[in-house]
Each structure stands twice: as structure tokens, then as C-alpha cells.
Structure 1
């Protein structure tokens, strides 16, 4: 499962939102996203436009795991069980769908006999979107913060994604949304209809490369704005 990816740069927000953006200089986030890091997600705005929001990666942030409960990961939601798992089911039933923009994601490859980090992205190096779920949390300081997860599907038969993870493990892949389906996904309010979007992305439109782990990224400044609505 994917636990690390590269979000778009702030100057790429125009292509993410599909309209000119004048405020991107006010935004900042780490160049690579890991658990509990802040990153941009896209939701459907009240007027039908794409709305950008900063949210933490992992549906249940570590700070919201109750004391005494063993820490658990919620960066990925399995498509087969997201309607049943307590961490994801409420958001799925309410169709709190989001699209996670990125330029690539990372997976371990064992073809050399040991784990090596590989990057996976589009053939044309374009920004793409992964299907996800979002929710909100009440914070100790009285503010409301958002979190998100990415949806995964089985990839045992996918020509590219079956190359990753340990040899005996089930192969999984993020649900990459075709560009012409991103807005339909965001506006879908029927969970059963939403399942029709959860399918493999064509391997011939993707590429992969060796990508040794980068240095730890800096954290997002707490002053970053939380929402950007464009009308």
C-alpha cells in the first residue's frame, strides 16, 4: 500500500483546480507526504467548483487515537471493506469523497532481491488525482481540521503495479482517476455509484523509476490557510 507520495508544487495549483490561482504563494506543504503530514486535497465546493483544502494524511491522525489504544495506520482504505471499517465507513456512507493531487507515489520493489523505493507516475509527468475520503476533526484549540485517506484496489493482475511489495504479499494499487472523471467523482453522492470509479488505471499511461528515499521534508507552517474556494 502507498504510504508516501509527492504532492504538486504550489505553483502547479492552476492545473489542479482548472482555473487561475492568485493565492498559491500563501500556501506551503512538505515536498513529500508521509503519515500525519499536511497536503492538499480537492473537494467539491458549494457552487460546483473544485475547492482546495489542506488536510493531514491518514484518516485517523495519531493525535486522535485514544490513549491506551495501539497506534494504527489509516493512510489507505481498501475498496473491498471501506464501507465496513469504522475508520472509513461514516465518510463513505456520507460520500465525503475527495481527490488527492500528486505528481508521483512511491512503492517498494523487490526485483533485485531487496527492497528498493520506486516512483510511479504518469508517462507525461503530469499531475494526477487519486480517489480518497475526507473527514473533519475538532481540535483541542477549538479549530476544525481535516484528514484524508487514499483508496486502494487489488493489483495482482495489473501489468505495472503487480511489480511492487513483497513477493508473497497481495498487490495493491491506488485508484488513479482518469482526468475526465475527477469532477464526476467529487460530485458523486451515491456510494454504490462511487464504486464504479474504483478500477485500475491503464498501465500504458504510467511509468516507474528507481527513486532512493529523499531527506526528511520540513513540516507545514501552522499559519497555512485551510480552504481556498474559487468562483
Structure 2
């Protein structure tokens, strides 16, 4: 799974990378993004233009009567997107890409606490993780504000991540973004093949200690 990640690059460089209109202002770096917080993502607006927006994480299904869910919706498994009642519709119609600079995975060392590893590109460049999104609205007559939320799609780990954890986020290269976001592609089989592990080369991971809610540069420092 991917239950924590970092977004240290400001929104504008992500918008330039995605060639997207930026709908968010200046944001501080986030070294430890956790479920229940807002994340940066780019998607297509109703006119078909790319926009970089803030989305609530995790995904809140539109059928929920309250802005919370009984399901585990931090991640969506690539292998069950077409068969799950929860994920089938957003996978078909509401795909997005979630901005990141790195992500965490836990290693089971046999202890009660699991050692956390931080994974990033070796060249230090930011990247986008595949996701799905949707809009939650309060039931008619109820008080509340509508908002958009998202989930990160995961797949089997590549060799670098697999030494620590069996799964990792789907990280799409730039040449796959247009196909992934294209609303005309409603047949899941046309994009299912994109949901592969990232290439083994070009990635590195190192231990960063144990789980923490702290959000500072210390969280991504290598721990011996």
C-alpha cells in the first residue's frame, strides 16, 4: 500500500511539468502527507483542459451519506479496478495523477514497529502517481459542502521497492499521461496495461526510522 508520501516541490513546477493550469496558490513543502489531508493532482476539467487542483485524500464514495467511509480507500489495487463495485465507475470515468517527490513503505523486521523506507527517483525529479477521484456531495436537504477526493492506485512492487514491501504506487511516465486522462477512453482494458510497476532502474530507497506524524525535512533523512 501507499499510506504516506511526500510532495516537496511547489505547485508551479508540477503545473509546468503537466502543462496544466494551476488552481492552487503557493504551498509549503510537505514531507509527510497522511490520509485525511489535501494532495495535489492534475486532471481534465469539463472543457478537457488540464488543471492542477487540491483533492482530499482518501477517496470518499459519492454514495456515502457523511463525508467519511467505512471502506479502506487510501489505495485502489490495480488488479481489482475493473471488478470492484467501489472502483469500477471512477476508474472508467474519473482518472487523475497525484503529485509526489517520494513515498514511504514499511519493512517487516519481525518487531512490533515496522521500519519505514523512503523511495524516490535517483535523479531527484518529481513524478505523478496514478489515481482515481470523485465528488462527494451532502444528501439533498442536508448541511455540508461538496468536495473532490482521490485514491492512489497501487500495483506489484518493482525490484527496488520489492526488497522492502510487495506493493508500490503506479507511477506513470509523461508519455502515458494523455491516454490515462482521456475521457474518451472508457474501456478499462485500454488503460489497464499502463498500471505496471515502475522500471527497476532509476529508483532508490533507504531507511528513515519508524512511523511518525511529524512533517519536516528530518522525516526523509537517512537513518543508519
- Shift in Å, 1:207: 1.1
Q: Which consecutive unaligned segments of at least 5 residues does structure 1 have?
A: 166-170, 219-231
Which of 104, 107, 113 is the equivalent residue of 1:106? 104
1:63-96 alpha-carbon deviations (Å, 9 max, x no partner): 5346xxxx43211111111222232122123x21
1:145-185 CA-to-partner distances (Å, cap 9, x unmatched) read 01111111123xx31121123xxxxx112111012222321
Task: Choose the corresponding residue for 2:150, options 148, 165, 170.
Answer: 148
Deviations 1:93-150 (A, max 9, x none): 3x2100011000000124x654211111111111101111000001464432011111
Q: 1:125 to 1:131 in 2, by over 3 A?
A: same
Runs of 5+ consecutive residues of structure 2 not aligned to the other structure: 217-224
| Alignment correspondent of 1:126 | 125
What is the CA distance between 1:16 and its match in structure 2? 4.1
Q: Check the 8 A contact 2:59/2:151 in 1, yes or no.
A: yes
The question of 1:64 aligning with 2:62 is answered no
1:38-77 pair list within 5 angstroms: 38-60=38-60, 64-65=67-68, 71-77=70-76
Provide the rounded CA distance (Å) in 2 between the counterparts of 1:124 and 1:201: 15
Any residues of structure 2 matched to 1:162-177 within 5 Å, and which? Answer: 162-165=162-165, 171-177=166-172
Residues 201 and 48 of structure 1: is their aligned pair in 2 closer, same or farther, counting only changes over 3 Å?
Answer: same
Give the drift of 1:59.
1.5
* Shift in alpha-carbon separation, 1:202–1:73, aligned structure 2, 3 A: same
TM-score by length of 1: 0.76
Higher relative contact order (CA 8 A, sep 6+): 1
Q: State the match for 2:220 in structure 1.
A: none
Say how many residue pairs are matched.
Answer: 204
1:23 CA displacement: 6.1
Tell whether 2:19 aligns with 1:18: yes
TM-score, reference length from structure 2: 0.78
Equivalent residues of 2:2, 2:75 under 8 A apart:
yes
Question: SS at 1:24's partner residue?
Answer: coil
| Rounded Cα–Cα distance in structure 1 between residues aligned with 2:97 and 2:39 | 12
2:180 corresponds, among 172, 185, 199, to 185
8 Å contact from structure 2 (residues 21, 52) kept in 1: no
Q: Structure 1 stretch 205-214 or stretch 173-182: which is displaced more?
A: 205-214
Deviation at 1:42, TM superposition (A): 0.8
Q: Which residue of 1 aligns with 2:34?
A: 34
From the superposition, tell whether residues 21 and 34 of structure 1 become closer, same or farther in structure 2 (CA, over 3 Å). closer
